[in-house]
Amino acid sequence: MTHARSPRALLALAISLVLWASAFAGIRAGLRGYSPAEVALLRYVTGSLILAAYAALVRMRLPAPRDLPGLALTGALGFTAYNLLLNYGEVTVSAGAASLLVASMPIWSSLLARFFLADRLRPLGWLGILVSFAGVALIAAGEAGGLRLNLHALLILAAAIASSIYTIVQKRYLVRYGALQFTAYTMWFGTLFLLPFAWSLPHTLPRAPLAATLACIYMGIFPAAIAYVLYGYYLARAAATRAVSVLYVIPVLAILVAWLWLGEVPRGLSLVGGAISLAGVAVVQLWGHARPQGAGSSARALSSRL
């Protein structure tokens, strides 16, 4: 079996991180020709078709009928709500700052895990959460151009919360489905819920700049489909905590990609807030948790609350 530190596994990890980081700049590029909802729809129709072709190739099994309502709700949170909120937020928030706000996800996940997975936080963990909240507030203030909140930044913060709920709820289903299968099922449901926004595409598509269309297609093929496959390959060979912790480099990569692709860099206050927020995340992840439960007990704890 391939080890997590093998060149192949590390290459898969590196590519997936860069692709995910590029999505923030891709959204900003897509918004130059499409509405936020249209960007999400084009992206995930493309990604869903790619995963459908992969599913047919490997003869992926269908989900159990009893799981369909839960998978639909999870897809609505993790793909429909997350992407609509993120895309509308990026109308004014820079790609780098958006990635920093989304990087607050582990904080929300920790709070949710406290109630739904009986995952207790130490005092240092609560201190880390407070530090991260302060950092997030600075990011929102920085994107507003002063010490006031940017409502679009708050939308991105709501997107991070929706994605955190998706992360917690999926533990119930990962007991029965692999990461790739679960991602495919929930992405298909999330795309289905985006279809009501398709009514405007026949009018927008012929008039949109080619670069905006290509950005949406790029995000569907690479960050939405291929990155999940590559990260799943790495996740199958690495400890879960190690695999999750490396995601914190995404904001750094996103800022670099946004600079190269769009020529934009977040404001100084946003960068300071991002550094503070990520420091708080590090405190929670390294020293904030009490003795963790096993995966099975966590899943059972979640199932008893859903």
Q: pLDDT tens digit string along 269-294?
A: 777 877 887 787 677 667 765 654 44
Show the tokens assigned to 162.
Answer: 């929706």
Neighbours of 306 (CB within 10 A): 10
pLDDT of residue 33: 94
* Residues listed for the chain: 306
pLDDT tens column, 201-229: 889 999 999 999 999 999 999 998 888 77
Structural domain contains residue 106 = yes
Residue 2 resides in a domain: no
Please state, in angstroms and as integers, the Cα–Cα distance from residue 250 to each residue in 84, 100, 133, 233, 303, following that order. 20, 9, 19, 18, 31
Question: Does residue 251 belong to any structural domain of this protein?
Answer: yes
The helix-helix angle for 105-116 and 268-287 (nearest 10°) equals 30
1 located within any domain = no
Does this model's pTM top 0.85? My answer is no
Q: Do the beta carbons of residue 160 and residue 89 sit within 8 Å?
A: no
User: Quick one: CA dihedral 230, 14, 133, 156, positive or negative?
Assistant: negative
185 part of a folded domain: yes
Q: Is residue 211 a part of any domain in this protein?
A: yes
Domain count along the chain: 1
In a domain, 236, yes or no: yes
The token pair that represents 242 in the structure block: 């190690």
The parent domain of residue 35 ranges over 7-303
**Model pLDDT, residue 278:** 75
